[in-house]
Amino acid sequence: MKNFVPSILTVLLLAATGCDEKEVKQISKEGAVETALSVDHLDEQHDLIVTTHKIWIKNQLVKTIVYKDTVPTLGMTEQPGETANGDTARVRLKRDYELYITVK
């Protein structure tokens, strides 16, 4: 999963509304914390998890905080894929971490 960035705002909205699914088109920057997560595969043994927080006050970005953590890779998996010719084949891919966010 290269540069996977889930929408934290959607997760926060789901948690706040009792799991009513709503899509956020634009972040309210009047007073908000915008968080993005990404996982990059560094090499055969390591992945890099990057957490970025942007702090918005009165439509001004006042601070950006970035955390980077190197974690062990989860290894390989096989999934159905498609070749350049359109044929179906089994493709070996690096396994991705599942990302869960707890909001309190």
pLDDT digits (tens, 9 = 90+) for 64-86: 999 999 999 998 888 888 888 88
Query: Would residue 99 count as lying in a domain?
Result: no
* Cα 39 from Cα 28, distance rounded (Å): 26
Strands in the chain per DSSP E: 31-41, 46-57, 60-72, 76-82, 88-94
One-letter amino acid for residue 77 of the chain: T
Tell me what the mean pLDDT of segment 37-45 comes to: 92
Query: Would residue 14 count as lying in a domain?
Result: yes
Q: What per-residue confidence (pLDDT) applies to 23?
A: 73
Is the pLDDT score of 17 beyond 80? no
Per the structure, the complete domain to which residue 14 belongs is given by: 8-94
Query: Would residue 12 count as lying in a domain?
Result: yes
Query: Would residue 100 count as lying in a domain?
Result: no
Query: Would residue 89 count as lying in a domain?
Result: yes
Instruction: Give the single-character DSSP code of 74.
Output: -
CB within 8 A of 44, min separation 6: which ones? 73
Q: Which of 24-28, 49-53, 69-73 has the lowest mean pLDDT?
A: 24-28
pTM of structure: 0.64
Total domains, the chain = 1
Is the pLDDT score of 90 beyond 80? yes
